[in-house]
Amino acid sequence: MSIDLQFDSNHLWHPYTSMTKPLPCYGVVSANKCILELDTGEQLIDGMSSWWACLFGYNVPELNAAAKNQLDKMAHVMFGGLTHQPAIDLAKKLVEITPKGLDKVFLADSGSVSVEVALKMALQYWHALDKPKSQFLTIRNGYHGDTFGAMSVTDPEGSKHELYHNFLAKQLFAPQPAVAFSQDWDKSCLDEITRIVADNKQNIAAIILEPIVQGAGGMYFYHPQYLKGIRALCDKHQLLLIADEIATGFGRTGKLFACEFADISPDIICVGKAITGGYMSLAATLTTDKIANTISQGKAGVFMHGPTFMGNPLACAVACASIDKLLSIDWSDKVKNIEQLLNSCLAPCRDLPQVQDVRVLGAIGVVEMKESLDVAIVQKQFVELGVWIRPFGKLIYIMPPYVIEKEQLQRLCTAIYTVASAS
């Protein structure tokens, strides 16, 4: 099967891509388990889980069946004034598996929108208490999405959102946690963010961060004690804590949710990406009874948000099947095995003079180079090696599907070493 790549290049805008000098695109005609098949007949081992989402790879029988079964009933129905069993079932599962106390579920249509919902929940909560607050506090090198509220709490300096800086709400930024995941804890790591809170607490609606793993902002893993300290800081000053678990949720870090590393529960949590096993776009924002009830008793009397495709039945049905499948397998052991293999197979990269750092957590492996990479060149090298790995900046990273075979993961790591050594 031939794909019209020329039309694609001339008319289709891809993520973070120029229309005058577009990055090369490779045509995919089918995908199964951990293999992407190109229109050229080449087969690539997928190291990206399609941006964290495809936990079980592609063409998953249980998820296929859930989609087909729901499609025969209804693909979509508005969520205003109507409801349906897939949404109810999904909400039950999310309340059960997310950190304790998050009992109210808002179903959104993408991760970025779930962040917008979380920010609006925090703002509306304080408004309902007649204590309006207008700023958020976050940490440097974070990433929360591409919509305007989400961009405002994404580090604007040197990021993909830098050019929008003057158009965004002005938020507060604390330094990136200085103590990495595997280092000895130093409580002074919390000094600066503690000072910022003390100076600005009257206007801070919430602290928002990615727990433990900062994803698209740099693939950095910070110490769980930092997150525990942030929870305590929020409690002390009566601030809300928003945990963006869109990238880290559903087992990717080795915990079902990364908040579990610090044994804390946020006031609001955002989940997405892997929620449907990578089948379609869906996300959710969960919060506490206290926050939901306070919002509902405020001046508006309702929460002011409602996407057209909110609670889409087809997506909810697949999400239920994906969560059921995750909980039915020994996902923890699978992720632990991936982590062990990544640690051993990526270790040789540490000896390369071009490499700054190698880090692994759960089913995430990162090789940080000393210099930025040419994505087009590196992408081509990976394809020639029979793998699909998409780097950014100085980072070559993988987060393979949990069902990846040992030999496939070894090939991914070997490809990384080969490309890194030639860069």
| 159 pLDDT above the threshold of 80 | no
Q: Is residue 66 part of a domain?
A: no
Which pLDDT does position 224 carry in this prediction? 98
For the CA atoms of 332, 334, 338, 344, the dihedral, rounded to the nearest 10 degrees, stands at: 90
Residues 86 and 234 in one domain: yes
* Residue finishing a domain among 281, 304, 328: 328
Which pLDDT does position 13 carry in this prediction? 95
Q: Containing domain of residue 172, as a range?
A: 73-328
Q: Is residue 64 part of a domain?
A: no
Average pLDDT rounded to a whole number, residues 235-262: 98
Residues 341 and 319 in one domain: no
Answer whether 144's CB lies under 8 Å from 211's CB. Answer: no
Residue 166: band (very low, low, confident or very high) from pLDDT cuts 50, 70, 90: confident
Residues 396 and 249 in one domain: no
Structure tokens at 385: 């090696």
Say how many CA atoms lie within 13 Å of 356 toward its Cβ: 11
Residue type, 274: A
Structure tokens at 232: 């305590």
What is the rounded average pLDDT for all residues in the chain? 97
Residues 341 and 393 in one domain: yes
Average pLDDT rounded to a whole number, residues 335-343: 98
| Pairwise CA distance, residues 86 & 389, whole Å | 34
Residues 214 and 321 in one domain: yes
In this structure, what CATH number is given to the domain that contains residue 35?
3.90.1150.10
Residues labelled as active-site residues? 16, 143, 244, 273
Average pLDDT rounded to a whole number, residues 343-365: 98
Place of tokens 């946690």: 177
Residues 278 and 406 in one domain: no
Q: What is the pTM of this model?
A: 0.97
Residues 46 and 129 in one domain: no
Q: What is the pLDDT of residues 31-62, one digit of tens each?
A: 999 999 999 999 999 999 999 999 999 999 99
Which pLDDT does position 158 carry in this prediction? 65
Domain count, the chain: 2
Full DSSP string of 29-60 = EEEEBTEEEETTS-EEEESSHHHHT-TT-BS-
* Residue finishing a domain among 292, 308, 328: 328
| 246 pLDDT above the threshold of 70 | yes
Average pLDDT rounded to a whole number, residues 22-37: 96
Residues 127 and 215 in one domain: yes
Which pLDDT does position 165 carry in this prediction? 82
Which pLDDT does position 157 carry in this prediction? 79
Residues 405 and 276 in one domain: no
Residues 218 and 344 in one domain: no
Residues 324 and 344 in one domain: no
Residue 197: band (very low, low, confident or very high) from pLDDT cuts 50, 70, 90: very high
In this structure, what CATH number is given to the domain that contains residue 105?
3.40.640.10
Strands (E) in 76-222, as ranges, are 104-108, 135-139, 172-174, 204-209, 213-214, 220-221
Least confident of 6-10, 156-160, 183-187, 373-377: 156-160
Q: Which residues contact 339 (CB under 8 A, 6 or more apart)?
A: 254, 360, 361, 362, 363
* Residue finishing a domain among 306, 328, 350: 328
Residue type, 61: P
Residues 249 and 125 in one domain: yes
For the CA atoms of 111, 112, 117, 118, the dihedral, rounded to the nearest 10 degrees, stands at: 80
Strand-pairing partners, residue 158, are none
Q: Does the CA dihedral 151-156-159-163 come out positive or negative?
A: positive
Average pLDDT rounded to a whole number, residues 322-338: 98
| 161 pLDDT above the threshold of 80 | no
Report which secondary-structure segment, H or E, holds 416.
Answer: helix 406-422
Answer whether 277's CB lies under 8 Å from 267's CB. Answer: no
